[in-house]
């Protein structure tokens, strides 16, 4: 791994901006992040199973769409739930549209998944921009993910569990309690704080291709 420094959410945005300006485009970082998270998930399952991806409206959801695409191409039965509505950021929209070419079930915001027995659930609801309290839709989505984990699903969080604040580790009521969190490029404070450990589970730091030089912006 190139970078093991702990950075704040704002510092991570600066690093990503520097990478984008130096030719590693945001959409490629999203692709690399999603593939890294998918690789971590696939390593835990010798055979394809049933996957639920809970996606938010932003780029964290876009990472989830990449995971969904990779899983579907690997023979998994994939359901994507747009827990807060359709994606809103350009790169997330691009990756969501790629799912139309695959056998992926899409659930709209109001169609909360009722199926039980998922082998794995991906939390790609909120990213490093989250702080404060969960809104009703987010609270409902986090409850469904936590309930699925209680029923035996392996719960993987993309970058950080939804409902946690990246810089402080503070957990909102109802926050996701993941088995495994894949952090991208750099650890954030939430990944290192003892009070957040029960929410993050095991943490993997994944390389998403950002050059060392881009960390010099800090």
pLDDT in tens, 30-53: 999 999 999 999 999 989 999 999
* CA pair distance 142, 125, nearest whole angstrom: 9
* CA pair distance 123, 157, nearest whole angstrom: 5
Residue 174: per-residue pLDDT: 98
Question: Does the pLDDT of residue 2 top 60, yes or no?
Answer: no
Model pTM score: 0.96
* CA pair distance 69, 101, nearest whole angstrom: 9
pLDDT, tens digit, for every residue of 181-216? 999 999 999 999 999 999 999 999 999 999 999 998
Residue 3: per-residue pLDDT: 56
Going by C-alpha positions, the residue among 126, 129, 131, 123 that lies closest to residue 171 is: 131
Task: State the Rg of the chain over Cα.
Answer: 16
Contact call for residues 128 and 188 (beta carbons, < 8 A): yes
Please name each of the domains of the chain with its CATH number: 9-217 (3.40.50.10260)
Report the DSSP pairing between strands 104-107 and 120-124. unpaired
């Amino acid at each position: 791994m190139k970078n093991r420094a702990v950075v704040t959410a704002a510092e991570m945005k600066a690093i990503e901006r520097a990478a984008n300006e130096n030719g590693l485009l945001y959409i490629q970082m999203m692709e690399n992040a999603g593939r890294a998270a998918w690789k971590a998930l696939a390593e835990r399952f010798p055979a394809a199973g049933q996957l639920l991806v809970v996606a938010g409206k932003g780029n964290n959801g876009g990472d989830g769409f990449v995971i969904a695409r990779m899983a579907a191409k690997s023979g998994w039965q994939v359901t994507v739930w747009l827990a807060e509505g359709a994606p809103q950021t350009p790169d997330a929209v691009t990756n969501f549209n790629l799912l139309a070419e695959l056998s992926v079930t899409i659930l709209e915001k109001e169609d909360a998944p009722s199926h039980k027995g998922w082998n794995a659930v991906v939390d790609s609801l909120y990213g490093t921009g989250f702080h404060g309290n969960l809104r009703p839709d987010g609270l409902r989505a986090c409850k469904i993910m936590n309930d699925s984990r209680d029923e035996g699903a392996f719960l993987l969080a993309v970058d950080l569990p939804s409902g946690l604040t990246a810089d402080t580790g503070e957990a909102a009521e109802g926050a996701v309690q993941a088995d495994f969190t894949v952090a991208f490029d750099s650890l954030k404070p939430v990944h290192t704080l003892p009070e957040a450990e029960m929410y993050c589970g095991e943490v993997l730091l994944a390389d998403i291709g950002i050059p060392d030089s881009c960390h010099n912006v800090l």
